[in-house]
Structure formats: C-alpha cells, structure tokens
C-alpha cells in the first residue's frame, strides 16, 4: 500500500533525493510547484529545502505556499519541514538580514555559533554525521525508531532556536554547543538533518512520518 505525500518544490535546492527516499519508503509522491486550493487536501505535506532562508521565503510567497502551509498546519494532518524547510516554520531568521518566516512555531533561526564550548573556532558549515540526543519524548514521533547512538547527516550554517522548550524533539552536540536538530508540535515536525541522506536511520524517520 502506498502512502500519498505532497512535496513542495519551490525552486531552491534539489527536491529529487527527498522524493526518491520517500518513494523508497512506500510513498506515492506528488510534487507541486505552485500552490492550488486542492493541495490543502493533501494527506501529508513535506517542505524540503536547501539554500538561504530569505530566498526560500520569497519563493514560497511568490508561489502561494506561505498561505497554504499555514492553513495546512491547522488541519491536523502530518507536516514535515526538512533543513531550510524546518527553519521557515519559525517566526524569522537572521540569515543575511532579518527575514520573517511562516510563524508555525515561536522562535528564531540564528547562525550556528562559530566557536565550540571551549571558545575555539570550529568549522562552519556544520557538516557531518551526528548522534541525536532526545530533548523530549520520542515515543509516537518520527524519531521513535531511532536508536541511541544512531547518526544522521547534517549540513547547515544556521539553526532554529525554538522559544518553547517542549517544541524541541532532539538536539545535536557540536563541540559542546547544543543545536536544535528536530522539532515537534502536534502534527508539525521539522528536521534540521537530512533524513533522505541519513542512510537506514533517516529512512526509518521517513517511514515513521508516513505511518503517523
């Protein structure tokens, strides 16, 4: 049985590998490039994205997806933002200016600190395979089948800072600096890491999303 998923393609970065990974996990994927009223009936919605926050938001607006995502969030059906797709769920970002986000979750997106906890500079972008640490309970969430010690792939220079502690689902430690790695509120999920590029662990995350 296939699970229908709508993936938003808003012209930044490359959605192809998200699509392939979802299909591999049993989804039948519909890719949309312009918002239409029918998209609100999607049973699951995925917002991927790499690149800059400001570019992403202006593309979302130009294509009518800002309104669509905000309304979809109210339906209670599962939503997943990946990387920049997660970042735009928040109120705004400091990346290259001051940009408003979709405001689905309270909080801001800020630069990953340029130094580790010891005050020594570390590499930016933050790229690599890291272990997820629970920030709230994973039972029943997209991370429920991630085992302790499992690693996922990150590549980013900015990260969300959710206002509400309980919205944080997982953090990742970057040289002693805790970075928000996943968020969850009701039907809304976001991953800073790339589940579509995180081998078996990432595919388990996507399968859980399809099973919500």
Partner 1 sequence: MTHARIIARLDIKGPNLIKGVHLEGLRVVGDPHEHALRYYAEGADELLFIDIVASLYQRNNLSDIIKRAADRIYVPITVGGGIRSLDNVSEMMHSGADKVAINTAAIARPGLITEVARRYGSQCMVRWEAYTDNGRERTGVDVVEWARRAVDLGAGEILLTSVDQEGTRKGFDLPLVQQVCDAVRVPVTASGGFGRVEDLAAIAATGVSGIAIADALHWKRMALREIKQHAAAAGLDVRGAEGVK
Strands (E), 22-93: 27-32, 45-47, 79-82, 92-93
52 makes contact with partner 1 (CB under 8 A): yes
Would you call 83 a catalytic residue per the annotation?
yes
Would you call 191 a catalytic residue per the annotation?
no
Out of 134, 136, 153, 178, name the contact with partner 1 by CB under 8 A. 153
114 makes contact with partner 1 (CB under 8 A): yes
**Rounded (5°) CA angle 127-183-104:** 115
Kind of pairing between the strands at 79-82 and 158-162: unpaired
Residue 28: what are its φ and ψ, rounded to 5°? Answer: -105, 115
Catalytic residue among 25, 59, 83, 191: 83
Piece of 98-106, 118-126, 163-171, 181-189 that binds partner 1 (CB under 8 A): 118-126
Contact at 8 Å (CB) between 48 and 7? yes
Out of 31, 100, 124, 177, name the contact with partner 1 by CB under 8 A. 124
**x/- string (CB under 8 A) for partner 1, residues 16-35?**
xx--xx--x-----------
Contact at 8 Å (CB) between 126 and 112? yes
Q: Among residues 51 and 103, whose Cβ is nearest to partner 1?
A: 51
Residue 99 pairs in a beta bridge with 93
Residue 82 structure tokens: 């990946």
Out of 40, 58, 61, 129, name the contact with partner 1 by CB under 8 A. 129
SS3 of 12-55: the string is: CCCCHHHHHHHHHCCEEEEEECCCCHHHHHCCCEEECCCCCHHH
130 makes contact with partner 1 (CB under 8 A): yes
Piece of 9-17, 71-79, 101-109, 160-168 that binds partner 1 (CB under 8 A): 9-17
In whole angstroms, the minimum distance from the beta carbon of 158 to partner 1 comes to: 11
Report the half-sphere exposure of 4 (CA within 13 A, side-chain side).
Answer: 6
**Rounded (5°) CA angle 179-100-89:** 50
Q: Among residues 139 and 200, whose Cβ is nearest to partner 1?
A: 200
Q: Which residues are tagged catalytic? A: 83, 194, 196
Which residues of the chain form contacts with partner 1 (CB under 8 A)?
12-14, 16-17, 20-21, 24, 50-52, 114, 121, 123-125, 127-130, 147, 149-151, 153, 155-157, 194, 196-203
């Amino acid at each position: 049985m296939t699970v229908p998923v709508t993936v938003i393609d808003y012209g930044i970065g490359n959605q192809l590998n998200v699509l392939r990974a979802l299909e591999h996990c049993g989804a039948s994927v519909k890719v949309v490039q312009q918002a239409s009223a029918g998209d609100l009936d999607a049973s699951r919605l995925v917002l991927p994205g790499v690149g800059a926050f400001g570019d992403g938001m202006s593309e979302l607006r130009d294509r009518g997806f800002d309104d669509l995502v905000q309304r979809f969030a109210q339906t209670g059906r599962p939503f997943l933002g990946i990387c920049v797709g997660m970042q735009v769920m928040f109120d705004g970002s400091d990346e290259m200016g001051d940009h408003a986000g979709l405001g689905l979750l309270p909080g801001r997106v800020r630069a990953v600190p340029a130094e580790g906890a010891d005050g020594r500079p570390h590499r930016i972008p933050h790229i690599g395979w890291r272990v997820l640490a629970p920030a709230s309970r994973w039972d029943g969430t997209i991370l429920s089948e991630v085992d302790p010690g499992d690693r996922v792939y990150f590549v980013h220079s900015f990260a969300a800072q959710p206002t509400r502690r309980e919205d944080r689902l997982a953090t990742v430690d970057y040289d002693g600096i805790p970075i928000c790695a996943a968020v969850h509120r009701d039907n809304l999920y976001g991953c800073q890491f790339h589940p579509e590029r995180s081998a078996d662990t990432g595919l388990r995350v996507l399968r859980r999303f399809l099973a919500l």
